[in-house]
Amino acid sequence: WGELYVARPAGAPVYGPQDADFATVLASVVAAGIAQTERLEEARRLAYTDSLTGLANRRAVDVRLEEAVERHKEDGAVVSLVVCDLNGLKRVNDTRGHAAGDRLLERFGSVLSLCGAMLPGTLAARLGGDEFCLLAVGPPADDVVRIAGELCCRAAELELGEGVACGVASTGDAIGPVRSARRLFRLADAAQYRAKAVRAAKPVVAGREGPDDPVVRLADAPPPAEGERRRFRGRHDRPRT
């Protein structure tokens, strides 16, 4: 970390053994403080970082999303959430092994990070398993949708996997009042599920299919006993086989 120097003006008494002992103790205290700070910083990094991809994790998204929604309620800042489900990960794991599956996750994580960098201040994260997200605060909804489309195109070009199902929810669209982080997340998740159910090659955006938008209707409906995601199948669009 560095070195500790001590000095006295010219003509002052020379340091004695007690002074040297005090300097040694002082250096040890400083070193211990720096070490503790580094350990705390590392613990914080591990707590908010996905170990495989190096992206933010779900805990980091939850914290940032709560802050973003509060800001939206205070000054109307546009908050957008892109939720992605990486297609084909299970097939890769089953046929080529989990090491290949990890490579796919890492490569998609790099693509996600690159696309997120196109929007200032955007958080790129892995939510867990094959689910990822981008959280943007400030950019217009159309800009976020455009980047989500770019993400879909780049994901489709990856050597492994089968592209990505991508859903977008933004306070800049007609999705109704967003008073909680949970509602925005449910909207983005519902849009992602619709994209996966219909095998969409481009993002599905909540609130852009008119007053009776199926994504908004799904997100706002009480979840059924078997899980809210199942509501699309059998009610709206069935996935093609």
Q: How far, rounded to the nearest angstrom, does the alpha carbon of residue 121 sit from its chain's CA centroid?
A: 12
Spatial neighbors of 6 by CB under 8 A, at least 6 apart, are 15, 19, 23
Q: How far apart are CA 85 and CA 239, in angstroms?
A: 15
pLDDT in tens, 91-147: 999 999 999 999 999 999 999 999 999 999 899 999 999 999 999 999 999 999 999
Using DSSP's 3-state secondary structure scheme, residue 37 falls into: helix
Whether the CA torsion 139, 140, 143, 145 is positive or negative: it is positive
> Which one-letter amino acid corresponds to residue 85?
D
Answer whether residue 232 shows pLDDT above 70.
Answer: no
DSSP-based three-state secondary structure for 116: helix
CB distance 97 to 171 below 8 Å? no
Closest CA to 124 of 148, 103, 146, 141: 148
Side-chain-side CA neighbours of 56 within 13 Å: the count stands at 18
State pLDDT tens for residues 173-228. 999 999 999 999 999 999 999 999 999 999 999 999 888 899 998 888 876 555 44
Strands of the chain (E only): list them: 79-86, 123-128, 131-137, 164-170, 204-205
pLDDT tens string 2-39 = 788 888 899 888 888 998 888 888 888 888 888 888 88
Q: Give the largest CA-CA distance in the chain.
A: 92
Dihedral over Cα of 194, 196, 199, 205: its sign: positive
What distance in Å separates the CA atoms of residue 151 and residue 1, rounded to the nearest whole number?
Answer: 41
